[in-house]
Amino acid sequence: MKYLSLHWLMSMVLLLLLHTATSMVMLPNSTGWQEILDKYLDEDGGWWEAKQRGKRAITDSDAQLILDLHNKLRGQVYPPASNMEYMVWDTELERTAEEWAETCLWEHGPSGLLPQIGQNLGAHWGRYRPPTFHVQAWYNEVKDFSYPYPQECDPYCPFRCSGPVCTHYTQLVWATSSRIGCAVNMCYDMNVWGQIWAKAVYLVCNYSPKGNWWGYSPYKHGTPCSACPPSYGGGCRDNLCYKDDSSYPLQEETEENNFIEQEAPLSPQKPWSRASRPEAPSLPAPAPTQPPTENLQKNDVVNTQQMSQLVTCDTKLRDQCKGTPCNRYECPAGCLDAIGKVVGTVYYEMQSSVCRAGLHAGVIDNDGGWMDVTRQGRKDYFIKSHKNGVQSLGKYQSANSFTVSRVTVKAITCDTTAAQLCPFQKPAKHCPRLYCPRNCLEENSHTSRVIGTRIFSDRSSICLAAVHTGVIRNDAGGYIDVMPVDKRRYYIASYQNGISSESLQNPPGGKAFRVFAVI
């Protein structure tokens, strides 16, 4: 048996958790497997025919079990939460989860919806396991989580590409994520990280409002229900902020929302029933809202996320990146004395030491420094040589390769945009390290726009976006890194560090970018 748990934070971005265990694989006609088939296939054994006749993507009983387990686990977090909201089922989130589950793609999506929802994924094959099995597995990541900051166990490239994962847990217990909708699909010949699973059971759970915001804790620590949003009217059930529809009218939430985004929470109701529920609310509209700033008076934001990865002298590219698009590294001093092997010349085999390959190529010296890596696909052979004090090995066998290059630096003006300087391309190209002048806020040029939050339209001023994000200060300027990304369907406005960014929906053409600190 194998099972997988998977969760993604914005366009950013999100992560995959793989856990494997060995046991006897049940045959497709086994009793356990038949339990799944009985619930999700029709009497003729046809999954797609059943779907076309309007069969639910998840049974009422499974939906109730998933919802109940979420609320149980949310109510027992430690340290205890003072603002943990009772979670309710949302049929619109269920619908979007169903649409994604039917793609049978082992990745987060769809990309246009991810900025507005949180998402956890799970898949398994073999003997029968209820959907709650994956929910419990997500929660069990708590062992790797140290309250309050989830980024400590969020190995998301290009910041940190290895280590324990806990972002499924933090989404599950994100205090303000008060709505959930899930779907189950039977996927035939599903590709899971290169392995083909003949019959995979695929679980997709969507959450709203989304969680896993960088730099924020999943909930506030304190006496249960002591910091509930006012709209709950003081109600509390099983350590969760709870409101009975019959007692409290809906009110728009304007603060105390974990400092993330304004949202009108759905009133919880129990006992829960699909048939008896009123019409479910729709997903949050993409129109931007200004985030509350209880901890961020004056909307001051400081962001120290780096695009370049800190590695050791012996770190292999294969160990560090695992195929993700991270490409800028900071190497320590003294790598000439390290033992990491280097295979190849100019083109290096993927199991080579990243930093020692940089030494061999003359991109860095023994004092260390930054360098860029470009994946070059498979090469038939690799040539040995002795360069710059490093002896590389030869290999006459086809393998994936990479090249290294110096990180170029370029000074730009306050008006320079990503579209002008570093357009998005496939395959990805390296953007130079940039130096922004100080006092860009005083620039009054009509071209100095900022469109988006955290992810910006490439029509935005790079330097003003960097100030808005908090990677540099307006009065100081400084170095930044830029990562071009594919365009977004919409960009969210916000006010940070004295800059009001714009919103933009369905932009024609154009791409997007992110900015990172250089420390």
d(CA 440, CA 433): 18
Q: Identical fold at 58-241 and 309-406?
A: no
d(CA 503, CA 456): 10
Confidence of residue 151 (pLDDT cuts 50, 70, 90): low
CA distances from 353 to 357, 399, 403 (A): 6, 15, 12
What pLDDT is recorded for position 178?
94
On average, the pLDDT of the chain sits at: 76
d(CA 353, CA 356): 5
Confidence of residue 50 (pLDDT cuts 50, 70, 90): very low
What pLDDT is recorded for position 212?
86
d(CA 67, CA 131): 11
> What are the extents of the domains in the chain?
58-241, 309-406, 409-517
Write down the CATH number for the domain with range 309-406.
2.170.130.20
- Closest Cα partner for 13 from 128, 137, 107, 143? 107
Residue 23, exposed/middle/buried by CB under 10 A (0-12, 13-18, 19+)?
exposed
Write down the CATH number for the domain with range 58-241.
3.40.33.10
pLDDT in tens, 336-385: 999 999 999 999 999 999 999 999 999 999 988 889 998 888 999 999 99
Token pair for 464: 């003003």
Token pair for 269: 């109701």
Say which CATH class 409-517 falls into: mainly beta
Top mean pLDDT of 165-174, 280-289, 501-510 is at 165-174
**Residue 378, beta-bridge partner list:** 400
Question: Residue 353: what are its φ and ψ, rounded to 5°?
Answer: -65, 125
What pLDDT is recorded for position 214?
74
d(CA 497, CA 480): 17
Record the pTM.
Answer: 0.43
